[in-house]
Amino acid sequence: MNRRRHRRRARNRLPVSGWYLALLAVTGAQRLQELAVSRRRERGIQGRHAASRTYPLMVAAHVALFALPPIEIAALRRRPRAPLLWIGLLAGATALRLWSIQSLGRHWNVRAVVPSDLRPVETGPYRWIRHPNYLAVSLEFLALPLAGGAWFSALALSAIDAAVLADRIRHEERLLAEVPGYQRAFGTKARFIPGLF
């Protein structure tokens, strides 16, 4: 009986839950795998870098996404509220991001290099919006910290991500406008939410 209580108390003293660290590890491993895929694809693309200016800040924001929440949780003794809700949102956002990557095929890459031979992709989630991948990433920036109870990290990192994406999208769309057929395919589509925004 005393041993069980002691174990329970020791578990309660852990600054960050084991399940949350596992969630960060799985999500981080997925990101690293995607980075490797992106690097392979970039080697074969002839084109211009749409996001070269903001890429270092984007990398820093993604590193902070995995570093800041556990620090906040440990330092401020945060506890998650409705973690299943946020894990569900994270799972949905990740599925949307993977669907977007799969739809773009060999043209997807993290630096947003626009190939000179690009043809507009109108399949998958691109049927309804221009930037489903960026929508998914924005939702992940909110859901991953909140799943562990790190609401300050969620707000701060979401604001940084929004600033990075605003600049990145502006430059990327400037290059995409030069792609034959892009304006016809996407000129009337919303960026993130069909019919709204």
Confidence of residue 48 (pLDDT cuts 50, 70, 90): low
Assign residue 119 the CATH number of its domain: 1.20.120.1630
Q: Is residue 197 part of a domain?
A: no
Residues 34 and 101 sit within 8 Å (Cβ to Cβ)? yes
The 10s digit of each residue's pLDDT in 100-131 is 999 999 889 998 888 878 889 999 999 999 99
- What are the CA-CA distances from residue 41 to residues 38, 45, 174 (Å)? 5, 7, 22
Residue 108 lies in a domain: yes
Q: Is the pLDDT of residue 10 over 80?
A: no
Range of the domain at 55: 2-186
Q: Is residue 125 part of a domain?
A: yes
81 touches 154 (CB < 8 A): no
Number of domains in the chain: 1
What's the chain's Rg over C-alpha atoms? 19
